[in-house]
Amino acid sequence: MFFADPTLDAVTRGAVLAALFMAWIVVLTRVVGLRSFSKMAAVDFVATIATGSLLATAATSSTWTAFLQAVTAVTALFIVQVAFAWMRQRLDRFKELVDNTPKVLMRDGVIDRDALRQTRVAHDDVIAKLREANALHRDDVRFVVLETTGDISVLHGDDEIDSELVDGLR
């Protein structure tokens, strides 16, 4: 591809193709926006993982055709991600199909063991998140929520909770 010597060619190919692909990812990210590496929805997370895999594929391509295929694939991923985001914003039925629903794991200081079992979240994971959120007393914890992204959120304190923050929780 670059040099007759196989070792020199492999090293150069890896460096040059990885740099070219990374530059293309930066261009796509600038066009699509930072959401391209978020995990707001399952498609976002999948696109992020697939982008990493395609970077590896591109960097190890032995032909320009294989490299171009990886470039095309990552471009298609970004397009699909934008299309999913657009449809999620405008079509409630589509949003219901592709999005998970947040799940309450703890309410008013009481851990819901059934919710832990259904979501396969360990009790120790909830306790670790409480510590991470600086919750000093279980009684101060209003909600622990397994978010649609797989993150765990902790709402605690004595203040009134904005109803929009807990709307749609189950």
What is the rounded average pLDDT of the residues 117-136?
Answer: 94
Q: Are 121 and 146 in contact (CB under 8 A)?
A: yes
Residue 53 has pLDDT above 80, yes or no: yes
pTM: 0.72
User: 52 — alpha (psi -120 to 50), left (phi > 0) or beta?
Assistant: alpha
Find out whether 155 and 145 touch, Cβ atoms under 8 Å: yes
Q: What tens digit of pLDDT does each residue of 18-52 get?
A: 999 999 999 999 998 877 777 777 788 888 899 99
Please give the mean pLDDT across all residues of the chain.
Answer: 89
User: Which contiguous run of DSSP H or E holds residue 23?
Assistant: helix 6-32
pLDDT over 80 at 159, yes or no: no
| pLDDT for residue 68 is more than 70 | yes
What contacts 129, CB < 8 A, 6 or more positions away?
144, 152, 154
Task: Identify the domain containing residue 20 by its residue range.
Answer: 6-96
Same domain, 23 and 54: yes
- Walk across the sheet containing 141-146 and list its strands: 110-111, 103-107, 141-146, 152-156
| Last-in-domain residue among 96, 112, 129 | 96
Q: Are residues 12 and 83 in the same domain?
A: yes
**One domain, residues 16 and 81:** yes
* Token output for 92: 């409630």
Task: Indicate if the pLDDT at residue 83 is higher than 80.
Answer: yes
> What span, in angstroms and rounded, lies between the C-alpha atoms of 62 and 70?
12
Determine the distance from the C-alpha atom of residue 33 to the mean position of all C-alpha atoms in its chain, rounded to a whole number: 14
Q: Does the pLDDT of residue 158 top 80, yes or no? A: no
Domain co-membership, 85 together with 132: no
